[in-house]
Structure 1
Amino acid sequence: MKCGIVDVGSNTIRLSIYHWEGQTFKLLMNKKEMAGLAGYIKNGLLSDSGILVACRVLAGFKALLRNFDIADLYVFGTASLRNIVNTEEALETIEAVTGIKVEVLSGADEAAFSFLGATVGGGAPGSGMLADVGGGSTELVAYRDGAITSGCSLPMGSLSLFTKHVSGLFPTKEERKAIRSDVKEELEKAKTAGLRCSHLTGVGGTFRAAAKLCNDLSGADPDNRIIPAGEIHALYKGLKKGDQDTLRQILRSVPDRVHTILPGLAILTAILDAYKVSTVSVSACGVREGYLLRRVMEGTSHDQ
């Protein structure tokens, strides 16, 4: 069977198309749109313009699946729709315009699905910690012997911090301090605070972008997914200093994240410091694969 799964995030809206049979699945295609929904939120409200951006992207994805003769489309929202005061209005408008029902995941479900996806992708072995840094939220999960022991969702992401604190393209020194203060405050409130973990599994676009930049700058294999914490700290330091080689590499490697990479790295480096992390493995799988397994594959097997 084939299906499409869409993650309506605060920074990107991503479509993944899978073929699945029984308990196995294969990714056929990925497509993303940099919707930047967090930039349309003011005083907790997602504006009409932001809702229509989501409608436009979702309608396009729906048409794409129709061209591929794929009828099954599952759409979920994360912090982009969870952390606003007009969630119901947004969902009703999206359904009225596109005919698509969107499920809004709780922070706990998002964390659990990210962990499940990373586990299936081989990115979260044994015991340790997982972090999923998105555009509008950050999920932290501690696990032991393949089971979650504690977890939480924090209302901070690369785009939401940029929107809240940054007036230009790159944050000033004072803006970086404000971002760092917010991140530190949220991490101190996390259920996982006080834990120590030398190895961290990273999920999400911010981790993938950081890994790509580190690999490109160091000359490592582009497919390398094991990144020393020191390289991520060095990347953040180079960007803060305005190092021209590092800035040019951003434009070559991750141009769509030129404005969010610094706030994202502020979150990443704070997590590495807080949990005394020495190495990071970046998972190829995450919340969409977890959703596929739990909501689609398990749900379908129960219905049969």
Structure 2
Amino acid sequence: MTRVAAIDCGTNSIRLLIADVSGGQLTDIVRTLEVVRLGQGVDRTGRFDDAALDRTLDATRRYAALCREHGVQKVRFVATSATRDAANRLVFIDAVRDIIGVEPEVLAGTEEAALSFLGATSVLPPGVGRLVVDLGGGSTELVLGEGDSVDSCSMDVGCVRMTERNITEDPPTASDREAIVRDVNAAIDEASDAVDLARVREVIGVAGTITTVTAHALRLDRYDPEAINGCRLTLPTLLAACDDLASMPREERAALPYMHPGRVDVIAAGAIVWHTVITRTAEAMASAGATLDSAVTSEHDILDGVALSLE
């Protein structure tokens, strides 16, 4: 048994998992998240904002202290969409190396997708035609697994990127929503060469936007990972929850008992992205004579995949 730490630094949040790993199974010790919005403004400027860097490095120092406190033996720090896009990424990478003591990895979209698939499916029985959708702040990964074959594509349509690029008012206007749908549809069109949605037979959604939409559909009185993990929502229920969050004003979103404060400003765009991906997948499946009746939400994602890779 090895005690490992996985740190996943995305566009919106930085997350830590400290776990004991043995035989491909994880036993959680610490699982935590901070919304630091590292990708603030990156889609527009192509660079990290100084304040965003400071927030993220402060959280990294806290995570390093937790790793020391819990006697972690192996650490892997991965960064994704925002870091791929930022011209001044080396400033961030050098600082993280000094804090954590390991080389941070800027994952290519395909590797991010593979780790997301590994994490999402690690607690599930074998299946065929599974599409894992990892909806992050800067990008959304589509990963289709059939037996030993995995096809994937990373699309630059995350909740933070779509908010900064397309939302002009709160709640989003009809034209704001149409702009996001256009961007997501264009990204899916490009992704279709790599991931054939007509071959999908089951959809598994991961990451904060999707788990929050699920919490909203369930009308939870708090954010409850146990209630969310493995939850299967019918398509009408899922799409209605997306529509509701996309049309809700900020004050109402902020008052929801399961809404993380760091997601209030980006959940509307994220819900529109999720709605569009689900709708397009259902249409593609229908063209192949298959039906998408529901989608499953998983609390296990790239963070679990990174931890498992350290065994």
TM-score bracket relative to the smaller structure: 0.7 to 0.9
TM-align CA RMSD: 2.7
User: Equivalent residue for 1:116?
Assistant: 118
- 3-state SS in 1 of match to 2:198: coil
Q: Which amino acid aligns with 2:50?
A: D
The answer for the alignment partner of 2:233 in structure 1 is 227
Aligned counterpart, 1:300: none
1:213 is matched with which residue: 193, 199, 216?
216
The aligned counterpart of 1:301 is none
Note the C-alpha offset of 1:231.
Answer: 1.1
Asked if 1:253 is matched to 2:258, the reply is yes
Post-superposition CA distance 1:5-31 (Å, at most 9, x none): 110011110001101234332122211
Q: 1:60 to 1:255 in 2, by over 3 A?
A: closer
CA separation in 1, counterparts of 2:173 and 2:165? 13
Distance in 2 between residues matched to 1:124 and 1:184, nearest whole Å: 30
- Asked if 1:151 corresponds to 2:157, the answer is no
CA distance, structure 2, for counterparts of residue 22 and residue 252 of structure 1: 37
TM-score, normalised to structure 1's length? 0.87
Secondary structure of 2:227's aligned partner:
coil
Q: Indicate the residue corresponding to 2:293 in structure 1.
A: 278
Tell me how far 1:162 sits from its aligned partner. Answer: 0.9
| 2:36 and 2:55 in contact (8 A); partners too | yes
Question: Is contact 1:121–1:283 with CA below 8 Å preserved after alignment?
Answer: no
Corresponding residue for residue 275 of structure 2 = 269
1:104 aligned partner: 106
Amino acid across the alignment from 2:243? K
1:177-188 aligned within 5 A:
177-188=178-189
> What is the percent sequence identity of the aligned residues?
24
Residues 153, 23 of structure 1: alpha-carbon distance in 2 compared, 3 angstrom cutoff: same
* 1:86-101 alignment, distance < 5 Å: 86-96=88-98, 99-101=101-103
Q: Which moved more, 1:105-114 or 1:138-147?
A: 138-147
Q: Determine the C-alpha separation between the residues in 1 that align with 2:99 and 2:50.
A: 12
Alpha-carbon distance between aligned partners in 1 of 2:186 and 2:143, rounded to the nearest angstrom: 18
User: SS state of the match for residue 109, structure 1?
Assistant: helix
Deviations 1:6-59 (A, max 9, x none): 100111100011012343321222111110112142421112322222211101
**Mapped contact 1:7–1:75 kept (Cα < 8 A):** yes
Q: Using the alignment, how far apart are the partners of 2:183 and 2:297 within structure 1?
A: 24
Change (3 A) 1:117 1:34: same
SS, match of residue 219 in structure 2: helix
Aligned-partner Cα distance in 2 for 1:25–1:236: 31
Q: Which residue of 1 aligns with 2:45?
A: 43
Report the CA distance between 1:87 and its aligned residue. 2.4
Question: How many aligned positions are there?
Answer: 293
Shift of residue 126, structure 1, vs aligned partner? 2.5
Specify the alignment match of 2:289 in structure 1: none
The correspondence for 1:129, drawn from 99, 110, 131, is: 131
Change beyond 3 A, Cα 1:93–1:78: same
Unaligned runs of 5+ in 1: 298-304
Deviations for 1:119-166, whole angstroms, at most 9, x for unmatched residues?
Answer: 212177222311111111100012212531x21001110111112222
Aligned to 2:84: 82
> Runs ≥4 in structure 1, deviation > 6 angstroms?
none
Looking at structure 1, the residues matched to 147 and 125 of structure 2 have their Cα atoms a distance apart, in angstroms, of 13
Bigger RCO (CA 8 Å, 6+ sep):
2
1:15 to 1:241, Cα distance in 2 relative to 1, 3 A: closer
Contact 1:225–1:283 (CA under 8 A) maintained in structure 2:
yes
Distance of aligned partners of 1:260 and 1:250 in 2 relative to their CA distance in 1, 3 Å threshold = farther
In structure 2, what residue type is equivalent to 1:166? I
Distance 1:113 1:278 in 2: 26
Q: Which amino acid aligns with 1:93?
A: A
CA distance in 1 between partners of 2:83 and 2:157 (Å): 14
